[in-house]
Structure 1
Amino acid sequence: MKTADPELMRAINRFHVLDTIRRYGAISRVEIGDRIQLSPTTVSAITGSLIEDGLILPKHEGDLRGGNRGRPRVMLALNPKAARVVGAKIAATRLAFVVTDFQGDVLAELVLPLRVDRLPLSVIADLVEDGVRRCVLDAGIAMADVKSVAVSLPGIIEHGTGLVRASSIFRDADVPLKEAVVERLGIDVIVESDANAITMGEHWFGQARDCDDFVLVAIEDNLTLGVMHGGQIFRGARELSLTLGDMVMGADPDHAVKLADVASEKAIINGEEINNPRMRDAIRLGSGMSHVRDMIEAGDNKLRVAASNAGAALGIAIANLVALFAPPRVILVGSTLTLGPHLLDALQSSFAKAIPQSLREVAQIVIENADDRLWARGAAAVALGELYGSPWGTTGPARTFNADALEGGKSL
């Protein structure tokens, strides 16, 4: 009979205690135990160590001098200054950064409107370094105060190693982005898919704060997927992020039709920018879908049909996700949602037709207008989530960064 690894169990329990304090604010030990089903002895041991490590702070309620009888009630809260992290989002037309404290509150934010897709790795890593350093400076802290940096981008990412297997940002496959950023910053770096980052952002700060199980669909030029189960990001083999654009929607003897072939922004535009300078400029500036919506509303029937077809295909794909996962909530984010009813009417109609009767009342579909700050803040939440589960001083071997330990993606 196998027994659980004691250090792993301690890390799991540490994470749940810290996350419970983050979610509910100042809270007593008894309430922590009730919410996560841990014994008073275990909660006391963990919280005592966390106080000693400076990660949480005791707050006394009540004042004996005021005539209250009994001992003051001790409430526990996160220490915001225990650690700072940086979250970053790399998009085709911009870079976004936030610096947060230990409870996820934003200390500084920065958006750099730059066309970065297809630039060499060295140039993109330099831009990330510049953005991180500038945002940290704006936060009034030093790089030495930053515990880790989480960089998110579209594509298929190997979370543990930080290897970008495929992304529209890079020309090449298997790009060692983590290694390049660590080389420049010299601190712990996490590379994550932007879908997983925004999934964490929604869970910590957005439309899923009350929900530990949900599915998120990011609808942009890359169609990506985030799955939250039991309050944790679900990853595939080798900690790979999930993609939705490769979902097969149909096939003929010659080829398979994938979702991205119909529903990505590139598919909707379908070469329209070649002979349309205004469309080309809008895409370059990251407002391609806003321009498409304007053209549809000005009477462009070709784009109207393309947007409707994209919505219909997305509705079927989301129905398939509900059939697979039966999530109580499906959150839709991404720049393509700018098309509004030109996309969403067809999406809702095709979803209603495709979903089995037995699952019609299972999932709530939520449309979220997530700005760059929430995407970057979600990346910061990925970094904080790992810190919450990491050993600190008295709660286990201290987690320190070793630049020579890049291979295998582990910090020792």
Structure 2
Amino acid sequence: MKTGDPELMREINRFHILDLIRRHGPIARVEICARGDLSSTTVSAITGALIEDGIVQPVPVGGIHESAARGRPRVMLQLNPSAARVVGLRVGPHGIAAAVTDFRGEVLSSLEVPVRVRRQPVTVVADLAEDAVRRVVVDAALTLRDVDSICATLPGIVEYGTGLVRASPIFAERDVLFGEALSRRLDIRTVVESDANAIALAEHWFGGCRDLGDFAVLFLEQSIGLGVMHDGRLFRGAHGLSHDIGRMVLGTDARGALVRLVDVASETAVLTAFEADPVVRDAARAGLGLRHAVERLGQTGLAAPPLVTEAGRAIGIAVANVATLFAPPRIILSGSLLGFGAPLVEAISAGFAEAVAEPLAEVTEILTDPPRGAARLGQGAAAVALCELYGSPWNTTGPVRPG
């Protein structure tokens, strides 16, 4: 289809108008025209259709008038929360988080199931995910028939659109059709996305980057995912592939073997520093992961082990590489590793300062986002599902510009 096709342009304009209403609503039509650089005829036609379809609802504002001559109350537009409901599902190595949201992204119910997911057979993980979806939907006083879409997020390399998980620390197998497995169990279309991309979209939709179109997110857990927003859209690779920079080479060891980021800066790598502590070791084997190790440090008053500093420096170098490639105004660090607090963050800052080119250090802001609960993790996945419902009309490779 040509980018000049009138139907495609209408779909592009529809997506932008919905996005403006989501980000700035309640909003007047005249402001939509100004923010979207769209004609009043286009905005009136599209918003009229959205209202008729029940996707957008008008909100009369008493006492505020568009025209003193006409004397009619000014009408603002906002998303209709009941237009759709989606389920966001986050499958991590130590548990499953789920959340039901309405069309505005407001969480209706959420839950977190602590379970040792990592290395379970795919069928078992799919069964656990199905149970979580059914439970969270019931908690929201809904039925599966009320759910329009599901998005499941996982760490690793995910092929968006097909639901194919190319590689993930969750699964022992490669090329897992996880989206198909969930769709078959629940009879609802399920998209699959990387957790880093979902968190990036959540930051843009619900977090501190609502008005920032360009930024990057590093998600630091079992794998090290990278989510890149460019011009307000997720940047994906060929076939819609997500980015996992854990395989980034940092150098070589004393034997000449390659040292990769995941070897020193993942949950698994850092937990090796606690192998001498039987309490932490048993907790890790029980699937409690890094959170228990951080709590143990707080209880004992011990300093963070040197491996934490080493991991922080490696992450700082990786952040510098991201800044070199994309020069984003902001890079957000998120994930369980940040539970170590100041020792890790200070090491990240030192590694970044050591590796980044001076001009980029002046334009790129580094922010740390503390580990999130079930509602926020599920909300990130729900943001992906909502974006699907908004109907973004361009393809999934790179940040394609309309027209």
Q: Is the 8 A contact 1:296 1:304 kept in 2?
A: no
Q: Which residue of 1 aligns with 2:259?
A: 257
Q: Which residue of 1 aligns with 2:400?
A: none
Provide the residue aligned with 2:269 in structure 1: 267
- Rounded to whole Å, the distance in 2 between the matches of 1:111 and 1:297 is 25
After TM superposition, give the deviation of residue 384 of structure 1 in Å: 0.3
**Rounded Cα–Cα distance in structure 2 between residues aligned with 1:152 and 1:78:** 25
How far 1:361 moved relative to its partner?
A: 1.5
After superposition, the Cα gap between the structure-2 partners of 1:3 and 1:125, relative to the gap in structure 1 and judged at 3 Å, is: closer
Normalised to the residue count of structure 2, the TM-score between the two structures is 0.90
Encode CA deviations 1:64-106: one digit per residue, 9 max, x unaligned. Answer: 9xxx762221211111000000001001111110000001001
Deviation string, structure 1 residues 27-55 (Cα, Å, up to 9, x no partner)? 11110111111111111111011011110
Contact residue 228 and residue 235 of structure 2 kept, 8 A? yes
| Aligned match of 2:36 | 36
Question: What CA deviation, in whole Å up to 9, does each residue of 1:236-275 have, x standing for no partner?
Answer: 01100001101111137843211111111222223743x5
Match of 1:200 in 2: 201
**What do the CA deviations read for 1:158-211 (whole angstroms, capped 9, x no partner)?**
001100110111110001101110111111111111111111111111221221
Q: Any residues of structure 2 matched to 1:233-252 within 5 Å, and which? A: 233-251=234-252
For 2:8, the equivalent position in structure 1 comes to: 8
Q: Residue 86 and residue 296 in structure 1: after superposition, are their counterparts in 2 closer, same or farther (change >3 A)?
A: closer
Tell me which residue corresponds to 2:218.
Answer: 217
1:166 aligns with: 167
Cα distance change on mapping 1:292 and 1:98 into 2, 3 Å: closer
Shift of 1:377: 0.3
Match of 1:374 in 2: 376
The answer to whether the 8 A contact 2:163-2:179 is kept is yes
Find the residue that maps to 2:16 and give its secondary structure.
Answer: helix
Retained in 2: the 8 A contact 1:109–1:135?
yes
Runs of 5+ consecutive residues of structure 1 not aligned to the other structure? 392-412
Q: How does 1:27-176 map to 2 (within 5 A)?
A: 27-62=27-62, 70-176=71-177
Distance change >3 Å, CA 114–CA 345, structure 1 → 2? same
Instruction: Give 1:400's aligned residue.
Output: none
- Alignment partners' CA distance in 2, 1:9 and 1:251: 50
Aligned counterparts of 1:299 and 1:21: Cα–Cα separation in 2: 49
- The verdict on how the C-alpha distance between 1:300 and 1:138 changes in structure 2, with shifts beyond 3 A counting, is closer
1:359 is matched with which residue? 360
Tell me by how many angstroms 1:10 deviates.
2.0
Relative to structure 1, the CA distance from residue 34 to residue 221 in structure 2 (aligned partners, 3 Å threshold; closer, same or farther) is: same
Aligned residues: 386
Residue 88 of structure 1 contacts residue 98 of structure 1 at CA under 8 Å; is this kept in 2?
A: yes
**2:218 & 2:358 partners in 1: Cα distance?**
22
Aligned AA (1:19): D
**Is contact 1:55–1:82 with CA below 8 Å preserved after alignment?**
yes
RMSD over aligned CA atoms reads: 2.2
1:188 and 1:388 map into 2 onto residues whose CA distance is: 15
Q: 1:282: how far off?
A: 2.9
Per-residue deviation at 1:280?
Answer: 2.4
Aligned twin of 2:319: 318
Residue equivalent to 1:405: none
Against the structure 1 CA distance between its residues 360 and 31, is the aligned structure 2 distance closer, same or farther, given a 3 Å change threshold? same
Instruction: Please say if residues 88 and 379 of structure 2, whose CA atoms lie closer than 8 Å, have aligned partners that are also in contact.
Output: yes
Structure 2 distance, partners of 1:322, 1:160, is 28
Q: Secondary structure of the equivalent of 1:270?
A: helix
Paired letter, 2:163: G
| Distance of aligned partners of 1:261 and 1:297 in 2 relative to their CA distance in 1, 3 Å threshold | farther
* In 2: Cα distance, 1:129 partner to 1:367 partner: 32
> Does the 8 A contact of 1:85 with 1:146 survive in 2?
yes
1:296 positional shift? 8.8
| 2:154/2:194 contact within 8 Å kept | yes
Which residue number corresponds to residue 399 of structure 2? none
Percentage identity across paired residues of the two chains: 52
The 2-side partners of 1:266 and 1:111 are apart by: 22
Give how far 1:5 is off.
3.2
Name the amino acid aligned to 1:83.
A
Does the CA-based 8 Å contact 1:200-1:381 persist in structure 2?
Answer: yes
Give, as a single letter, the amino acid of the residue that structure 2 aligns with 1:171.
A
Q: Structure 2: which 5+ runs fail to align? A: 394-403
Say whether the 8 Å CA contact 1:163–1:177 is kept in structure 2: yes
- Pairwise CA distance, 1:332: 0.5
